[in-house]
Structure 1
């Protein structure tokens, strides 16, 4: 029904909606005043009185429910805690680990809960497993096996509430397929704190709360007895029916209300004379209703006016977001009027615009991948490997082991770099690729500089695009170490996990450069495969947030960083 009315309203034109809004504004006060005048004399006192009682009982029930829900949550947090499940099932190889969890986890946790919530008097586990007892916190179930609440708790599910010289809530730990033992968390709640707001809300009313067995767990009948009201026992209370009753020789109203989260029942008894003592006259009530109707009329007019403008303002807001570059949103309206048509046309235009941009972006990626593939396969890999193998064999026969080492390293360099045409390789292979390059350069330069590797082996479990570290190392050697005027050059290669990213760092102790020169390295196109190419490939693969960061100061060396998502 509601959906049909909404669809009909959406199909109406703007002028029809405006006419309908004025019509409703006129009819509502007439209907409200007419119905009220007819029902006033008959229902005024009864509705006011019973409504007040029910509201008061609802408030009491709501307050108790709030507290019960909070403690249910606390208990369920405990039973689904993996460490606590491990403790009660004694899932340990030795007592050392059990003792550690008891002292360093369970005790501080219980202490924290009782300190944060003063209404919690006690928390403990009752276990059927062979867990050693630990003070008052962990005890064997045999201690309470004959208690009535314990027998009922074994049959129930979820959080269960009982009255056992006070108010307690218990819950069973989850049992798995091979688990025959039942373990229970037991929490005792301070009764006075749990029901502290009942007395204040009850005032002069008689309020009694019973559990599912009909036993009284709370009552303010002591105050009722002092006011010469009768004191009801369990049998008398269960015989009462909701509505008008005879309570101590006087006509009274009884309201029953179940507590939603437990099997408790709230009984509230109010004398009939108390309900009528503050009743107003029909004239005063009529004036109040008229004032309320006028207020409602004003509110409805304001709501309708704002409704008409809200979608226009919303569409304007969406256009502003598109204006500043946010093209990812989806715009759609179910309304059939002019504003809805305008909104849907704007949404269709935005979808088409995104399709065009996506198509251009994909073409750019394809172009860059094609250029990189062409760079990889400029030389024939099989011919290259065969030639290097032949040179290595000749070098070994001639006892030229240094030449053999260079050739073997060069072969490994190209093998890890080309990677059979794939541009996604393990991080370990990319690090091996740059290591081979540096070894070749060191051999060619007669080890004129030192290399330090600081590699966290945790990065070996991830992958990256290839050919991103060798250009950095090449730039560090050419523009940093080779230009160092004094002292021995040092090249440092670092790889680590940081903030969900794999971070590579290439650092040299060369002469450094001013910030303008460092920026030029990333913007200019070199004759070979330079830093600009690496930067573009990183941004194409991982997004504009990922690039090369160059940090350099004159006479302080240069540090280049690359971060990729782990």
Structure 2
């Protein structure tokens, strides 16, 4: 394919490769470098944010754990919750002096703790929201988070607005069950997670068993339920999940893991700008190269194309020069050399043509000087015989015919004659042939007198008549009368037609009659002479049917253009 491509497109392809490959390579390297650098930078940023958030959350959770353990292990609280009460006043004193002060002190210090409730199965009566029966704990949404609460347990409400901290008070010598529940505003713990970035990102908080505690997703990217990181190996701090960059850290205060992720498309946006500029540069360079190739085509390839087209004309025998150049560069020298070569070729062709004309003229002169003497002697012998057997009239007629024939044949050595003299030549020749054959054939003349003044080359019709008599009528086998017909008329050209009803020719012989060599001055010679001086559109046309006859048409110009004196 590349081998047969024109040089114009080969040069264009080479220029495109030279211009675009470096840009594409540099652009690809820049994009890859920016892409990796953006991810590394984002990974570092995620790590820093995670460390800050983990530290803040650990501090906050440790504060809650300390507060609940302080209540759970307070001797007064443990004593009140493990005692047996029969008097309401004793209960009142327990509330006033022990439960209320310690339970209300924590929310007053830490405003994020909205309430503290103790659920107990002791004989104490309910006391507002501070002390409630244990049976009501089982109806709370947090109760299913753990069956034993043997250690402080955190769990979120369904809407993530509340964080519950539940802890069971242990006794070695009491059968009562007491649960402490902190209700905490989750925004104190999670609020900062919802404002880490202004664009797309997401966070997830999971327990050690990968149970989801909290999730938040902002902006573009997959929704939370589509991002599957349940199988994340926590030993790997840098993990890619499809189109996300993910970092995670574990809290020290509780068995939780915090995940922070951002879409790669957002992280690598600067790299995409590099890719955009690379594509823009590639298009711009391609346009410049195509424009440059068009200029190059006008300067280099167009002259080469014109030279190629001119060569094709030469191949079709058209020697006209259609491409020129006065430039001194390589292409100009090539065109000038081609022009000189064509001019030289035309000169050589003209030399060959003149040589052929001289040769034809020589053959014609030889014909004029070497007309078959046997014909002349036979004619004279016949005249003599007639003179003996008949009267002087036949001798006189034959002598006149011979005189006319030889006079018009020799034509004083001139190559041109008039149509009138050419017809007089064949009149004499036909009459002589009729006398020699005892009037064995008839002759019909259809002559337009308007053609008589025109000039034409000498001895063009006589060989046609001779061929019709010797090879047509003489071999006629049928009994009907032999007839020779001669036409002369003018269309756009001069047309001469010789017809006989002789033996005819086969189709193959008729097609080859103008190309086969023959002895002496024959049909082929007449055809070549006509085409040599008038062009290939002129000459002889033969048609023949075996047993019917033959017709030959001679077509020449109505005037003779620039024929040489010696033709």
TM-score tier (shorter): 0.3 to 0.5
Give the TM-score normalised by structure 1. 0.43
